[in-house]
Amino acid sequence: MIMEQLQQIDHYVMQWFNELKYSLPTMLKKMDLQTKTSRFDLVTNVDKAIEQSFEQLMITKFPGHQLYGEEAHHDTQRLREGFTWVLDPIDGTANLVKQQDDFCVILALFYNSEPVLSYIYDYPRQKLFQAVKGKGVYLNGVHLPSPPTMPLEDSLISFNNKVLNDVTMHDLLDASFGYRLIGACGLDSAKVFTGQFGVHIHTNAKPWDIGAQFLFAEMLGLKMTDFHEQPIDFIYGGPFIISNPGCYEETLRILLQKGGYQK
């Protein structure tokens, strides 16, 4: 695959995000809520419509590419070969439903299992994070530098407090500067891209929660692994940490020392 081809694909995707910016307000006005496996497992017609809209773009502009999307595209058979898109059409659906705020679209393209394009679109704040392999990382078109290396004691840390045991949670709170959780894995991760957070942990990330983070982490010099410092398989997801390099080892040591989390 050549750079020109990648830039052409990026161009169409940026156009799609721009169109989404104008179509989303109407979609949100007609939002209709459904539950999936429990009263906390929410999905809306907006999640489904965004996934369908991206599928349409893919069929017309990128025939031969495959889609691995949260709402309707779960076939994993051939995802490691050729071009595979991983999409979370709305990350932070609970936030969308309860607050009409703090939700995003997470989108990533893999070529032969390597991440080559990534996007996190924070619609409420109109922030589009974009990473193009071999070219650069951008926020709304402006180059985004790597964050400075920060120790855990000076950093904000983010995790879902329902899934850590109390001792581990308090050890992490004591070791860090403070705690914040947005409640959308893409947006909590993007805070690590910019250095606003030192760490985000998700103990049971689905592939679409973290598809875009691989390339951002690689290009910004961040750590992104499971809790045993091993790479994460983009098809399966699983325990996930994205971290500033200055916070990574201490966070993992605390997380593991008292057996402190559930999936």
Give min distance, CB of 181 to ligand NAP, in A. 8
Chosen residue from 25, 40, 77, 174 binding ligand NAP by CB under 6 A: 40
Nearer to Ca ion (CB atom), residue 234 or residue 246:
234
- Phi first, then psi, for residue 153 (nearest 5°) are -65, -20
Amino acid at 191: K
Q: What angle do CA 143, 85, 37 make, to 5 degrees?
A: 115
Q: Considering CB distances under 5 to 8 angstroms, the limit depending on partner class, which of ligand NAP, Ca ion, none binds residue 204?
A: ligand NAP
Residue 91 is a binding residue for Ca ion (CB under 5 A): yes
Tokens 């050729």 sit on residue: 82
x/- contact string, 57-86, with Ca ion (CB under 5 A)? -------------x----------------
Strands (E), 123-247: 127-132, 136-139, 142-143, 156-158, 178-179, 199-205, 223-225, 238-243
Q: Considering CB distances under 5 to 8 angstroms, the limit depending on partner class, which of ligand NAP, Ca ion, none binds residue 163?
A: ligand NAP
**Token pair of 85, please?**
């898109």
Residues 207-226 that bind Ca ion (CB under 5 A): 209
Give min distance, CB of 83 to Ca ion, in A. 22
Residue 102 is a binding residue for Ca ion (CB under 5 A): no
Give min distance, CB of 205 to ligand NAP, in A. 7
CA 247/CA 44 separation, integer angstroms? 36
Residues 6+ apart with CB under 8 A from 123: 20, 21, 24, 103, 104, 105
Residue 92 is a binding residue for ligand NAP (CB under 6 A): yes
Chosen residue from 10, 71, 91, 250 binding ligand NAP by CB under 6 A: 91
CA 30/CA 119 separation, integer angstroms? 25
Residues 139-198 that bind ligand NAP (CB under 6 A): 160, 162-163, 183-185
Q: List residues near Ca ion by CB under 5 A.
A: 70, 88, 90-91, 209
